[in-house]
Amino acid sequence: MAPDMLPGETINNVTNGSRFRLPDGSIFIYESSKKTHINSGKAVWDTHIEARYFVSYYPCDGKEDLTLELVTPDSNGGVVIGGKHFRFAYHNSTGKTSMTYLGENPP
């Protein structure tokens, strides 16, 4: 089962296959790759020149299995997918990625 992720919460070491459940029941699945492309069912987020982010989004309404969106992050690594706002950061010193869920409405 995916752990809950509340607005303002940061996961400091997001790894491939990490799953997170948002307050509305939506599930996000994280994968990363250094390639620039879209796989079926995955959205690419280029939040760092050396990192690409693929996230599968399963909405809570049960009407769709998957939502695919291609988004471009802002200068702070912020992206919106499925109406949810996230910030991703790639840390060169550790080679790890952190993810912060900022809530339903982008600031």
Q: Provide the b/e sequence for 68-104 (b: ≥16 CB within 10 Å).
A: beebebeeebbbbbbebbbbbbbeeeeeebbbbbbbe
Whether the per-residue pLDDT at 54 is higher than 60: the answer is no
Whether the per-residue pLDDT at 26 is higher than 70: the answer is yes
Q: Whole-model pTM? A: 0.61
- pLDDT, mean of residues 71-85: 69
pLDDT of residue 98: 79
* Local confidence band at 42 (pLDDT 50, 70, 90 cut-offs): very low
Among 59, 95, 103, 96, which residue's Cα sits nearest to residue 78?
Answer: 103
- The mean pLDDT of the chain is 64
The strand pairing partners of 101, in sequence order, are 86
Whether the per-residue pLDDT at 40 is higher than 60: the answer is no
Whether the per-residue pLDDT at 96 is higher than 60: the answer is yes
Whether the per-residue pLDDT at 16 is higher than 60: the answer is yes
